[in-house]
Structure 1
């Protein structure tokens, strides 16, 4: 007999996952007359007459944990017994924890660090002693999502279960976990996505051209993948999106970038544009003496476009955010360093 469940800690009144109870006949002959008893003091006491199980076959029962109970530890016991000339029994138990609902509006005090389930377990007492109630707990790899071209699990079962165990531990200790979603840094390592100068050559300081077609879809798929794996766990509350990935951004003059600006402005990128910060005011002919530019100034128009849309990072981050919060996961909040720190 085995008792399995995705999580072992719930917040009171939260819908619980189904607990899977499996009875397997490991004999080389059919098993008849067996009874399955499920006992959870205060919430379940049920006995089930099992059908005849052929050799190596299984019987499965689903049980829901009653999360309306008072916050406490609860044990589900499963027992299989066979009466007769050769009586036998097998038992298994599962420890479940129910924690109180939280008063809304707690201010996040986030440790920018930790980064893994092992480190979280090691540092949790010290984090709480120092007054932290959030930390960065895990960083899913985007490579499988890139290869698949659609939302997929980013890691294998061992890593996913390790993260889920950490989230359970966090919930049991009234702590919250934020993910580090660094797919932008993954893209920056791809030389085929380089920004290029006016001569079509990659810049010496490489950076991903985040505006290129397909990257927003990849980003949304990555965010959705993480949300589908962990988004139903109440201890997963936030995500850091691409920390400081924009530092090496630059104006890109690829054919695609020039076409996008032409669609936006109805004109070419101004000839004076050579980098992301713009020319110095005293090099621009007829620059206003009061240094106040009109709203329709060509350079002002370009740089407004570049820093809001043109370099691609804002739309890319929005796509991460949109995918992560899809399917009703609106409670998860996101931030970007160094805009919020």
Structure 2
């Protein structure tokens, strides 16, 4: 029988005397036709239908991750973090919504948002680069993972930048003469015109412009190694005056050069005793011969005069004297 004539036999009609109701799925004494939540799962039947779940099955309830009573199917922001699911890299994590470097870590917890190998803190607070731009990388000249802004030795040459003339050149640290060429490659560190290697040989400092090698003849060879300091053609070992280009001999050892003060005869005799004796003998022989000649001639003249009768004094006039005039 069907007392309410609703088409449902009374034995199967939860409401046999109500023609508008016949089923009470959740047994809450409200017929399903009037009950907004047939399965009593807390979700209205209309919502369940739009959410794609069974409104008559309590086990089939819509998913609502953020508990805002909007099922995830219909909720534009499932985790309720104010980021739409379409732009939220983590739609079910209210603490994350961005993953700039796509490494699976949200940018809020990722220490390196742009994945450039530099921590966000260092980039932002110390190195002055953008932690969210992979192309904005801190300068790190020596590659020691300490950006140059923070690194006190940029070229890692063990000389601190403030004391390093070339803070970005690991092969150079000093520039003694300030010519822009580091001492390591500069052939004249102090800029005094003398090569460092030459100064070492000449025993002067290659890093002191006030200390230059002595070069008397200015030939570019310091006196210490110059074989002819005055450049007069006589080596210093042979030169009695190694620093006087106008003199080189002092054969009489009087401290005066022979060019300006030539040797006297006595000097020459002292320097050549053997030759001097021979010379004296020759002079003596010459004088002896001359005297003998003169004496002999004198005697011959007397004899001649006697033979001619000229031994008497000539008369002043008319005598032989006049004939010789």
Larger radius of gyration: 2
Normalising by structure 2, report the TM-score: 0.17
- 1 or 2 for the larger relative contact order (CA 8 Å, sep ≥6)? 1
